[in-house]
Structure 1
Amino acid sequence: MDELAELAQLMEKEFGPRVDSMYSTFPNRTSIRLLDVSQDLDPNDRIQCQIKIVDLNHAPKYSALSYTWGDPGANPDDEHIPPLPPGKDEYEILCDGHPLKVTKNCYAFLLSFRKAKATDTNHQSSRKNAEFIERTFSSYLIWIDAICINQSSLGERSSQVRIMDRIYRQAQQVIVWLGPSDSSTKLAVQVIANLANIPIKKCRELFMTSPLSTDPYERLGIPTISKKDFMSVKALLERSWFARSWTVQEYVLARDTVLFCGTLILPFRAVPDAARNLALLGWDHLLASLGDEDIEETDLKAEESVTGTTQMLRGLHNSKEDFFLGRATAKSSFVGAILSLHYLKRIQAEVSRERWLNTKDNIPLQMVLLATTHKQCFNPVDKIYAFLGLLPEASWDGLVVDYSMATQDVYIQATRAMMRATQSLSILSYVEERPLRTISDLPSWVPDFNAVRSPLPLDWGLTTYAETMIPISGQRMVFFNVSLSTPFSIEPNNDSNAKLSVKGMWYDKVVETSRFIPGNLQELAPLLDVITSFPRERLWRTLLADEHVIALDSNAPPVTFPAQEIDGQMFAYYLSQTQWLMLVELNSDPATIETHDDDSPENSGIPYALREYDVFEELIDPALNPIPRFMIDCYDPWIETLNLPQDIKERGLQRMAKALSVRMLDRVLLTTEKRRYGTGMMSTKKGDEIWVLAGAKVPYILRPKGYGEYEFVGEAYMHDIMYGEFVVEKEHVWSDITLV
């Protein structure tokens, strides 16, 4: 034995094997490592694995793990299966005889996985379940990112991320590990299985029935679900797996997916089926609210005896700003997030077709980013990289997966790549309000993809793929073209440039802004002079961005635009209901509503509800106002001008409430120098300018910085120019400006 070999042997005996020696170089770009988890522990009770390098081009058989590196979200105060001692974040395993540290959640999976392989079918009595477990755990090797990728090598991480879509697409099945089970997990799995089996038709028939009553369950054909049952489901669906970025790709690309939690196993397709049925029943909002500190038991029981309209209006009156900033809708976001996972699978058929035919078509990357905005990740660049495998390469041509790049540069490069792919400036509509940003020093025109984008854009970047649209709650289905598709260009070979040169037409300057909150209409008083100079229908068309939102027949095909007469009627009816609540409160106890922040002399002694009515009366067509001024003191809520069945009115009120909360979320009404009005982002202020940019579908608000440079503020809606009317006028010319 030579001296170097002898020294290596001595060092290994003293310090153990070198960890990095298990990671030999891959023979080619399509190689991956797979694990064979031994059923036997080593003498120190460590899990043992053997590593095998395979080539994806040779179609190896394996499973792939989808899990979270951090805390999976099991109840920390409960007993877990498998049990692990608290306070320890890493555990040691052996891979080819080399010690390797893995996270607590990964180690918990390996324990359960090893036990499932070792015990095979002993813990299940059903032959069907036994065959399912055997197929899941006994047939293949497994791929686990934290072990199979050398995490200390940026180069290897980047190269493996480039083929991540193939790793999950080619796996025989993807195992979704939600973490150890706790005392509520078994109940949650059973309830989800029951909900998933309800026929869709029955869910639609029982929309907005009470989930806390026993009546619906007989017709649904499932056991009654108690509050405790719902709480267990909520706890499971709020586990961290459902919130992470990388898990989206891992689920969407999978050919077959199984849910594994502790020792409990369920075909994963039951989860989106159950979420869909909860949404169709209208129970998702209640499910999300369970356990909130501000939700009392009596409030939940009231569901059984109070109509949906009254509940909704009470919620509006008691918490006007929360409701109309969309916070109530956001409470059920975890159900929507599960549904978006399911709908993202629709895109995969189109992606597979394009790859097979080697076409250069693309599906906008921002469509996927919009559906996954609430997903979380440790590394901000993964808010881009984690979703690239869902789309054809043409959708992100020019974007390089490189973990050595600064986050700012990755986001600039991604933004320019999306502009090229869509041949439009639609990605500018994804720029969020400045206070919401998490990445410092981003140019104003580059979205912070790591931030949660609360306002849904007027232009969300759809090109030609209407058949693959992702149903996102509240998304816009109207397609504007303010620039008449005027061509634009991006500087070649300059993707890291923090400035964006564009061509634009100046339209107008902002003079005044105000929020629109039913129940607090007095905020619009400074804008009334301009608003009332137009026909009254202009207001609701502007607030809805001229989109038709009220469908009287739930089975009728959707009409996306323009807004219809019924939308205006429902808008007036909706505002009148808020006025009625305020008038009832005024008549029952005037002292409770006479005070207001505005203590100006002209308002002194005037009850708040009456001042509110003054603005309401200015905004509503008299023919649609069910509360004439002479009836203020004796208003009867049954005297209504909207002649529709009660169930249709209730459904219409809910749709109108949702439409307004979504479209005006973090947006304001604005008036301009030329006495026009429209909507803009919350941060819009006096002196900002409204521009039409070449390649844009909607107008944008820019803030002048001098010398032809502008800070980007966000989208605008200006009713008379959304389809290119301003560009058609001959006297306007394009100017060269720069966004910084």
Structure 2
Amino acid sequence: MVERQERYAYTPLNHGEIRLLYSATEPNTDEVTWTLRAERLLRPEGEPPLMYDALSYTWGDLGQTYPLTCGGRELQIHKNLKSALPYLARRESSLPIWIDAVCINQADDAEKAVQISMMHQIYRQAEMVWIWLGALQIGPEVLALLQKLIAIGPELASVYRLGNTCDPIELGLPAVDAPIWQQVAEIICNKWYDRLWIVQEAALPRTVRFLCGATAIPWDTLEQVTEMYLEITHGLKGPGGARLPLRRGDQHTVFLIRRREQTSSEQTRDWADHLLSVLCLTAGKHACYDPRDYVLGLMGFIDEVRAKELAIAESRTWSLAELYTRFTRALLVKADLSARRWWTVIHEASATNKTSGLPSWVPDYHNMHDESHKAPLDLSVQVSVKRRDGLKDKASRAADVAKQSPENYRMLIMRGKAVDTIERIFDDIPDQLVWRYGFTDVSAAEGLAILWRFADWERKVRMELLGPDLDLVESWPDDPSMRPVIGKDGIALDDYWRTLHGNCLDRRDLRVTYRDHCAALLAIPRWLELLDQEVQWEEEMKLKGEDSSGQEFPLSNEDQATMALSKPGGPILTLICAAHDHLYKRKLFSTTSGRVGFGPARIQPGDVVCVLNNAFVPHTIRRQDKQNPNEYELIGETYVHGMMNGEVEDLNVPVEDFHLV
């Protein structure tokens, strides 16, 4: 019977100290012995720096622990670290190594807090940070394949840009079902990329290297392969459209943040904008055990002076809602209001089912990765990326900002103009999820039914909004100045149909006009009739004993043109896809002043449409208290036709301060 060793007892650390793990291999044996020693990380100027490596890894399953003998006593570690230690002992370095699970006394909360606050210094000062991807048996053929992917990158990018695919064999790569692709997947789709804390662990050090079992892989190799992720996953397909076994992730953010961190200095960049950028890249994409870490895990990207400006030193005593609120307010006040990422934070705050106690303008960082909590796609990105008409890309360019209230950290004061009030809200666009997650998984019959439901919905909305006397007129000119302004509430037809598609009608080099819009919707009933006739024709051919596979269903020239409208990339699918893209999780509305737009699904009649200073798009807000008329709840980003490109600057509307709570 093996005698159980005495439990390891940590001795307290002095100010500026960390523990390092030393390894030694016993003579004439492969057995490794481990010891922990306290060392001074923070040293006076002129004294030689502490030399050590550090480990970045995921803890993995916390439900089971394993013993580690350290200095003749027993520590408990988790499975992922247990598998890493034998390889770390034989890595290409003789330096001691810092590993959070054993170098920090996990049972001492006070020590943990101090050591976590030092982690940015620990990783910055390390000679090498080793990234553990697991005990993978990676041979030279895998490294050769990674280099081959890098070499054919330009050719593969060309295939992807054209919307084409090719079999890997045609490019001299292994077949889609070759086992080696699974090994590649274990490297570039590793769970290590998913964790929040690894972002700073990879971004801050001078030198980093991946470790897969005994095989070291340079950072640059995986960075270049990951940059080709879309080309690899979408451009390479086998017989029957078989895909490679690669899952979609946010690996690229880890490489992007390190590149930004290493190519700029704290002296040359704006610290608040940099932190805001890291926040937008990580929240909702990288997971952590403690939701507080979505804030605390970012503190390594700024120095102690800047951290004090955020005033979260006492955050251990705050609730999660208070931490998120104080951090967000302090960061938004310091950051550049004109930057798109500033408004990305405001946009994410409009998600539903947020943690209790959060003001309307504060995102729930912990739940941003949960589809059920997500806000719609960032409207400012949807609109500006697709706009090709040369217009301004912001709803407001007014730069003046409101003074914040020092007494109420739960309030964010925004300056802007109230331009309208929502009066009427229309039915949801049908079949949102089918279009959101792909139209290819439905049967032909269901596909026809979906098209019919869309046409029926569009006609109902059009009649309610513009009046029963208006119907589709395909012969009307495309120039809006040549078409009458028709609508029972003074709403122009041009405003309506452009709002329906977010005024973004360039898709795959196909410019959709109003005539296309009419022709597509008018063609749907005839298209459905023709498809039914084709089915009947095939059945009749079978009854006659004739093979229809080599023959085409006879169509007149007019009907051939009708069927062409429904082809992939044609007007029908282009229009419907554009409408679903913009109306997913949103509702169409009209206003008291005769405007039309769409906004978050929870908008209500009486909500105020405003254009906040420097905002990319308008926003909807809701008055909270008659006793405090300036207090509003933020509802979210809103599209209002005629208010997207700086038109608010020409309106004779007073500027006011909105107190968002």
Q: Specify the alignment match of 1:464 in structure 2.
A: none
Structure 1 counterpart of 2:394, which letter? F
- Please state if 1:448 is matched with 2:367: no
Q: Identify the range of structure 1 (706-715 vs 220-229) with the bigger mean alpha-carbon deviation.
A: 220-229
Q: CA deviation at 1:543?
A: 6.1
1:10-49 equivalent positions in 2, closer than 5 A: 16=6, 19-21=9-11, 23-26=12-15, 28=16, 31-40=17-26, 48-49=34-35
Q: Identify the range of structure 1 (535-544 vs 692-701) with the bigger mean alpha-carbon deviation.
A: 535-544
- 2:123 aligns with one of 153, 168, 173: 168
Residues 573-613 of structure 1: CA deviation (Å, up to 9, x unaligned): 997899598666444459xxxxxxxxxxxxxxxxxxxxxxx
The answer to whether the 8 Å contact 1:396/1:418 transfers is no
TM-score computed with the length of structure 1 as normaliser: 0.65
- 2:347 aligns with one of 417, 426, 429: 429
The answer to whether the 8 Å contact 1:487/1:694 transfers is yes
Q: Specify the alignment match of 1:61 in structure 2.
A: 51
Q: Specify the alignment match of 1:144 in structure 2.
A: 99
Residues 648-685 of structure 1: CA deviation (Å, up to 9, x unaligned): x69x9999999776654433333223331222122223
- 1:243 aligns with one of 194, 210, 223: 194
Q: Specify the alignment match of 1:368 in structure 2.
A: 278
The answer to whether the 8 Å contact 1:65/1:176 transfers is yes
Distance 1:350 1:150, change over 3 A: same
Distance 1:636 1:719, change over 3 A: closer
Distance 1:459 1:412, change over 3 A: farther
Distance in 2 between residues matched to 1:578 and 1:97, nearest whole Å: 81
Q: Specify the alignment match of 1:684 in structure 2.
A: 603
- Please state if 1:668 is matched with 2:587: yes
Distance in 2 between residues matched to 1:483 and 1:268, nearest whole Å: 41
- 2:322 aligns with one of 409, 421, 429: 409
Structure 2 counterpart of 1:365, which letter? L
Q: CA deviation at 1:89?
A: 1.0
Distance 1:371 1:457, change over 3 A: same
- 1:509 aligns with one of 417, 421, 431: 421
Distance 1:333 1:199, change over 3 A: closer
Q: CA deviation at 1:366?
A: 3.6
Distance in 1 between residues matched to 2:157 and 2:658, nearest whole Å: 52
1:631-710 equivalent positions in 2, closer than 5 A: 634-636=559-561, 639=564, 663-694=582-613, 696-707=615-626, 708=629, 709-710=631-632
Structure 2 counterpart of 1:261, which letter? C
Distance 1:403 1:66, change over 3 A: farther
* Secondary structure, counterpart of 1:20 in structure 2: coil
Distance in 2 between residues matched to 1:655 and 1:340, nearest whole Å: 31
Q: CA deviation at 1:63?
A: 2.0
Q: Specify the alignment match of 2:441 in structure 1.
A: none
Distance in 1 between residues matched to 2:141 and 2:594, nearest whole Å: 57
Q: Specify the alignment match of 2:36 in structure 1.
A: 50
- Please state if 1:738 is matched with 2:655: no
* Secondary structure, counterpart of 1:139 in structure 2: coil
- Please state if 1:485 is matched with 2:485: no
Residues 387-428 of structure 1: CA deviation (Å, up to 9, x unaligned): 343467759941425444321111001210222122537232
- Please state if 1:274 is matched with 2:225: yes
Distance in 1 between residues matched to 2:361 and 2:140, nearest whole Å: 48
The answer to whether the 8 Å contact 1:34/1:148 transfers is yes
- Gap regions ≥5 residues in structure 2: 369-373, 386-390, 436-450, 467-485, 537-554
Residues 278-335 of structure 1: CA deviation (Å, up to 9, x unaligned): 4135627x89xxxxxxxxxxxx74338xxx9xxxxxxxxxxxxxxxxxxxxxx99954
Distance in 2 between residues matched to 1:582 and 1:98, nearest whole Å: 77
- 2:633 aligns with one of 698, 711, 735: 711
TM-score computed with the length of structure 2 as normaliser: 0.71
Q: CA deviation at 1:67?
A: 0.9
1:90-109 equivalent positions in 2, closer than 5 A: 90-109=65-84
Residues 53-101 of structure 1: CA deviation (Å, up to 9, x unaligned): 13255433322211111239xxxxxxxxxxxxxxx71122244445322
1:508-547 equivalent positions in 2, closer than 5 A: 508-510=420-422, 511-516=424-429, 519=451, 520-521=453-454, 522-529=456-463, 530=465, 533=487, 538=495, 542=499
- Please state if 1:389 is matched with 2:277: no
Distance in 1 between residues matched to 2:307 and 2:263, nearest whole Å: 13
1:220-231 equivalent positions in 2, closer than 5 A: 220-226=171-177, 228-231=179-182
Q: CA deviation at 1:237?
A: 4.2
Q: Specify the alignment match of 1:177 in structure 2.
A: 132
Distance in 1 between residues matched to 2:583 and 2:145, nearest whole Å: 34
Residues 195-246 of structure 1: CA deviation (Å, up to 9, x unaligned): 54333321123224445x3xx544x343444365545544554442121111
Residues 321-380 of structure 1: CA deviation (Å, up to 9, x unaligned): xxxxxxxxxx9995451122222234224641xx246x7564253432332222110011
Q: Specify the alignment match of 1:621 in structure 2.
A: none
- 2:410 aligns with one of 481, 485, 498: 498
Q: CA deviation at 1:698?
A: 2.9
Distance in 1 between residues matched to 2:412 and 2:49, nearest whole Å: 45
The answer to whether the 8 Å contact 2:350/2:361 transfers is no
Q: Specify the alignment match of 2:651 in structure 1.
A: 729
User: Identity of counterpart residues, as a percentage?
Assistant: 23
- 1:205 aligns with one of 158, 166, 182: 158
Distance in 2 between residues matched to 1:656 and 1:35, nearest whole Å: 62
The answer to whether the 8 Å contact 2:350/2:360 transfers is no
Distance 1:398 1:445, change over 3 A: same
Distance in 2 between residues matched to 1:399 and 1:273, nearest whole Å: 39
* Secondary structure, counterpart of 1:51 in structure 2: strand
Q: Identify the range of structure 1 (230-239 vs 485-494) with the bigger mean alpha-carbon deviation.
A: 230-239
Q: CA deviation at 1:18?
A: 6.2
Distance 1:513 1:157, change over 3 A: farther
The answer to whether the 8 Å contact 2:521/2:572 transfers is no
Distance 1:165 1:581, change over 3 A: farther
Structure 2 counterpart of 1:369, which letter? L
Distance 1:206 1:724, change over 3 A: closer
Distance in 2 between residues matched to 1:717 and 1:659, nearest whole Å: 14
Q: Specify the alignment match of 2:211 in structure 1.
A: 260
Distance 1:641 1:544, change over 3 A: closer
Distance in 1 between residues matched to 2:74 and 2:632, nearest whole Å: 56
Structure 1 counterpart of 2:278, which letter? V
The answer to whether the 8 Å contact 1:482/1:724 transfers is yes
Structure 2 counterpart of 1:398, which letter? L
* Secondary structure, counterpart of 1:710 in structure 2: strand
Distance in 1 between residues matched to 2:573 and 2:181, nearest whole Å: 23
- 2:240 aligns with one of 298, 302, 317: 302
Structure 2 counterpart of 1:702, which letter? I
* Secondary structure, counterpart of 2:10 in structure 1: helix
Distance 1:261 1:641, change over 3 A: closer
Superposition RMSD on alpha carbons, in Å?
Answer: 4.6
